[in-house]
Amino acid sequence: MKKWLISIASLAIVATGATFILWPADDLGPPAPASTLSGEQLIARGAYLAKAGDCMACHTTRGGVAYAGGRALQTPFGKVLSPNITADRETGIGSWTADDFWRAIHNGKSKDGRLLYPAFPYTNYTRVRREDSDALYAYFQSVPAHRQANAPHELRFPYNQQLALAAWRALYFTPGVYQPASAQSVEWNRGAYLVQGLGHCSACHSSRTTLGGSDDSLSGGLIPVLGWYAPSLTSDAEAGLGDWDTAHIVQLLQTGVSPRATVFGPMAEVVRQSLQHLGTSDVQAMAVYLKSLPGPAQAAPRVPRDASEQARQQLALGEKLYAAQCASCHKDDGKGVPPGYPPLTGNRALTTASAVNAIRLVLNGGFAPGTTGNPRPYGMPPFGPVMDDGEVAAVVTYLRAAWDNDAPAVSALEVNKYRSVPLE
């Protein structure tokens, strides 16, 4: 009998310890400060912050009611369906309090205590200050109620279990509001706050573990399922901005084009739906912070050039196809006519270790985002329908080796891998 009691007590202790680790008490943070804004001003502030967080991108389906949810977010573990966050009291968040909303933003927990999946980037949003959370709450309470029931997620076992999610959070999530760096300027800290928090830039620009955990390092990574590479923002060999003029960074973030680069793919959506709507002072702050990230420039290790006859033939084919299909816009010397036709020589987007972005642009074409600062963007036509995998590989290989570029060749097999990947 005594042994049974000891065993039961031991199990109770283990269960209590596991509960404490996997379901820690909420980090409530400091009390909400009294707002000096009027109700109307608070809503306007929240609307602005919702743009900064690009909330509509996930919580609105194409052609659907704003913020009514239902968009399927593809993950390596299955589909996460975004919820209704309109002011509807039954299917939305109309019955939530400001504390409930803060709990979701800061702790990643729903009103009923259920753990939220990190497709909702609370791992970044936890850095948001309480006063900004309250402004967002005021705004979403002003969004017209729309009755639309939330669809269940379509996740595989065991990822659909709260216990598995609790274990994931124990490994990868620690709540905490952004703490300003005392050695940096007010502008730098504002930029860091936006990039690390509502901007959730690390959600794409950081690598992930097999379980989907991120180190938030902004060191670049392949975006799961979407099949785009978000380049490193901390390396001048990729998308690091250390040697850029700040004005050009601001221009790229606000309009999608600049003398140095043009955004395509998922980043075009971010510029169109979010960044172009931010005030210039905030975009400037983000630019100052991003420009400060890269460390000393380090030359990428050179890969010995393949000197085989097959490699020479591939380069020759790529050069021929470039002259026929690309040079009229990007010019024989690869310098283009920026910002409409971006330069290809010295273009770090072409020479990243992963060639996926260049492959997808040649296959599918693309447009820079239509923005107030660039309302009629130039587009690139898709060459996938008129080039086979070998020809696309030859063109991309040529682009990665011509002029001042020096990056490894691309194979037809790599091209075929992305020919059927959805555009979003």
Domain 309-419, what fold? Cytochrome Bc1 Complex; Chain D, domain 2 (1.10.760)
Model-level pTM? 0.89
Cα–Cα nearest to 24, from 202, 195, 175: 175
Q: Which of 90-94, 266-270, 302-306, 358-362 has the lowest mean pLDDT?
A: 302-306
Top mean-pLDDT range of 29-43, 290-304, 389-403: 389-403
Pairing of strands 379-380, 228-230: unpaired
Residue type, 218: L
Place 301 in a pLDDT band, splitting at 50, 70 and 90: low
Structure tokens at 202: 């690390």
pLDDT of 374 > 60? The answer is: yes
**How much is the pLDDT for 225?**
74
pLDDT tens profile 32-59: 788 889 999 999 999 999 999 999 999 9
Q: Which of 141-155, 165-179, 200-214 has the lowest mean pLDDT?
A: 200-214
- Average pLDDT score over the chain: 90
**How much is the pLDDT for 307?**
72
Mean per-residue pLDDT for 136-159?
A: 96
| Domain extents in the chain | 35-172, 186-292, 309-419
Q: Look at 409 and 366; give whichever has higher pLDDT.
A: 409
